[in-house]
Each structure stands twice: as C-alpha cells, then as structure tokens.
Structure 1
C-alpha cells in the first residue's frame, strides 16, 4: 500500500514513534527513523531491516532549527525524497501553572509547535514533489480534558500543533499535501512513567476509556497512521483524529 513511499518519523527510537515507523515499514514504506539518541533509532532501523523492510537511522535534535533542516535534506538525498512526515518527537511540560517553569514551557513550545512547523516547511518541497504527500502531527486528548488542572501547559502546546495542522491542510491542499493530527493513548514509555507517578489518577482515568484499555504503539496507533497515509484516506485532511479508545469528546 505504501510501496515506493519514503516516510520520515521523528522520535522514532521508542514508543509511539517506533510503533508508527514499524507499521509504515510493514506497509511497504522506506522509513527514515530519526531521534536525538542515534543508538535508539539505529536499533529500530535494524528491527525494520530484520523484518524485511527498509529503514535508515538519522540523529536529530528537534529543538535545533539547523538540525531539522539537515534531517530533511539528508533524508531526501539518501532515500530519494519524502512522501510522508510524522512529527512525533516532543518534550511535554506537565504540572500546575504555579509549578511549571518558563524554561519547561518554552521547551514544550520549541520541541512542539515550533519544531513541527519548522520540519513541515523543510519537507514541503519534497512532499509537494511526491504529488500525494502526507503529514501526521501529534496532538493529545489532554486538549479535551474535563479537568485541565495540571495539563494547561501541555494542552497549550498541543493546541498550537492542531492550529498549525489545520492551517497547513488549508494552505497546502492545492499542493497535493494532506495534513492530519492524531491524539493517541498508547502504552509508550511516557505513559508508563505517568502511571508510575500518578497511579490513582491513572486508574481512574482508564475507567473513562470506553474500550477499557490503552492502545498499543504499533498495532493500534501505528497501523492506523499507516492506513491514513494510504490511498483509502486520500480525501481526509485537516482532521484531528482521536486514537484514544473513545475517551475524549472531540465533537
């Protein structure tokens, strides 16, 4: 379904990014797995290769503009273009308003909305040249929490990504580029750390998920993203797609 496509996934060394990279490769895409720690993305690239797919690892710091430009250029040069971009890497500022530092909030914006728009811009000519390019950005159901206490900064940076997603979908649709965002619940290292830090809150939260389970990074999140990048979803753009077992109200 994605044979001949080159996909670039940031934060692909673990969790949701890894799951998406594996699923894209399973559907036939050649995957550039990018992350801050080269050894992690090299391990994922090796995993894809051992399964019969094609992947290449790239080191990248999404908080550095030059690093993002280099990632886009190096990926296109090494793999022959970019048809799919997944902006997954993100530092998450969590905590009450009186506790989250300006530095942590700024890091959330730089690694979130700013990194997202920087890499979208850097990849735009390659996505346009592909003729049917797809961008998938990462939001969160935390933006729709009934109680935002402790999640204001996180929700703010993710809402910023949603706004950029909608704008890019409108502006770049004529270029043949579809732009989507997903809001996943997945058994990532980040979620596991949250469960360990807030077990009572986590247990109560899980009871609000209609499907009564957390999604798996590859089967539930990765394969959904791979499907959305394919021809069956060629008319879907500008959407914020919840992959959260029905927990949040995105209506």
Structure 2
C-alpha cells in the first residue's frame, strides 16, 4: 500500500513537466489525481499514462487565470473523488526579461495566474480539507530571487516571492486545522528547460556546472517523489518551509 492510499490530489499544470511528474509520483503512492490544466489533450495523455501503471486519475480542464474555473474544477474533483487532501499549485505565467520590458499588462497576468490563482485555490480547498481532518498544500516557487545575478528575473522572482509569503502565512493560520503548507523551488527538466538546453547548449552547460550535483532534476524521480514525501505522514511536522530541490545550486538564508 502506498503512503498516499485513499488521498485525493488536485494538481494544476499537470499535463506536462513538473506538474505531470508530481502527478505520476503521487499516483504511484496511491493517491487519486485530478489532473488539471488548460490543454485537454495533454491532460488526457497524462491520465492515460497514470492508468497504464494502475493509478487513478481524471482530466479536468481548468484555466487558473479564471478563479471561477478553479472553483468549478475543485467542485468537480469532489464530485469524482469525494474530497481534496492535497493541492499542488504548479501552473503559472512566468514573466522574464529586464524590468524596463515588464509591462503592467504582463505583470497583471502573471500575478493573476500566480499568487492570486494559488490563493483562490487554497481558499477553495481549505474548508474541504478542514472537514476531512487536515491536508497538504504545496506551492511551486523559484530560487530566482536568490540568484547570484537576478538580472532578467525580477518579474518572475516577485511573483513567486509573493507566493512564498502566502505559503508561510497559510501555514501559520491553518496549522490548527492540521493543514500543512510548504513551498518547493525546483530545477527540473521541463519542456521549456529541455528546449533551452538543446538550443543553447553552451549556456546550459554553464548552468549545469553551477549545480553541485551536476545535473538538472527529473520531473518525477527528483521533484515528484520529494513532493510525495512532503505530503505524506512521514513529513507531518513540516510546514511553512521553502524547500530547494535544485541540486544545491541556490543559497537560501
């Protein structure tokens, strides 16, 4: 029996990359997965792969930029599986580029799909988790704010730092409800990063050389399995933390 047998996980952006890797890992531990995202074909593919190894999953189309759709997706998850025990806020728009290029419109979209969407999802699942005796929330953040040079990453870092603040506050306020809330800052071979490594090999080689473990993490084996531990009872005293899953690259603290 897996460590998450009987649990229900709602994962945003689960059609590919890190979200998909987390979905695979949690499903292998016995959780039923609400695979959510904007592109139905990607969601269906993820669900088919989960079912192929005996897992339980359903695709739910959801654009996190629309809070009403988040609410509807959570309600659909409860209809399908009976509740929500794990929320993974993974999907977001990541604004990259120099500060002078970051338009108000772009930043508004980034905040809407980032901390605002994540907060709404957290607020929506809170009463469900509380009624079930507790739960776990994991928010995806970034080490961009603690890079040696944050040039070109200011907008992205600001969006994720807002989510880190919400993570810490939710952990403080919802601890009495037995709801643990943590953040992870991963480096993983997502489709975007894979494209970058293939098309800019010299930059990628320099990047990998700056990671003490000398490799970029695997979406399932390195990131997903870590999340599976974080939301399991084995980590029941861990909350309010930001955990870097980056092979030791970033310096936090």
Following the alignment from structure 1 to structure 2, what is the Cα–Cα distance between the partners of residues 204 and 29? 38
Give, in angstroms, the shift of residue 108 of structure 1. 1.2
Where 2:4 maps in the other structure, the secondary structure is coil
Structure 1: 5+ residue stretches without partners? none
Which of the residues 166, 169, 173 maps onto 1:167? Answer: 169
User: Could you tell me which of 145, 154, 168 is aligned with 2:147?
Assistant: 145
Q: Which one of 96, 104, 107 corresponds to residue 105 of structure 1? A: 107
TM-score between both structures, scaled by the size of structure 1: 0.97
Q: How does 1:39-188 map to 2 (within 5 A)?
A: 39-188=41-190
Displacement of 1:206 in angstroms is: 1.6
Equivalent runs, 1:226-241 vs 2, <5 Å: 226-241=228-243
2:219 aligned residue (213, 217, 220): 217
Secondary structure of the 2:194 match is: helix
Q: Distance in 2 between the 1:39 and 1:202 partners?
A: 30
Work out the CA distance in 2 between the residues paired with 1:161 and 1:195: 27
Q: 1:29 aligned to 2:20?
A: no
User: 1:51-78 deviations in whole A, cap 9, x for unaligned?
Assistant: 1010011000000010011011111121
- Secondary structure in structure 2 of the residue aligned to 1:178: strand
Give unpaired runs (5+ residues) of structure 2: none
Q: How far, CA to CA, are the matches of 2:179 and 2:37 in structure 1?
A: 24
Residue equivalent to 1:246 = 248
Instruction: Return the alpha-carbon distance in structure 2 between the equivalents of residues 143 and 54 of structure 1.
Output: 37
Does 35-44 or 55-64 show the bigger shift?
A: 35-44
Q: How many angstroms apart in 2 are the aligned matches of 1:118 and 1:132?
A: 18
**Judging changes above 3 Å, is the alpha-carbon distance between structure 1 residues 56 and 164 closer, same or farther for their aligned structure 2 residues?**
same
Query: 1:199 deviation in Å?
Result: 4.3
Tell me, what secondary structure is at the counterpart of 1:31? strand
For residues 191-216 of structure 1, give each alpha carbon's deviation from its aligned partner in whole angstroms, at most 9, with x where no partner exists.
12343565443322221100000000
CA RMSD across the alignment: 1.2
Deviation for aligned residue 1:144? 1.0
Q: Is 1:7–2:9 an aligned residue pair?
A: yes
Q: Call closer, same or farther: CA 1:221–1:127 in 2, change over 3 Å.
A: same
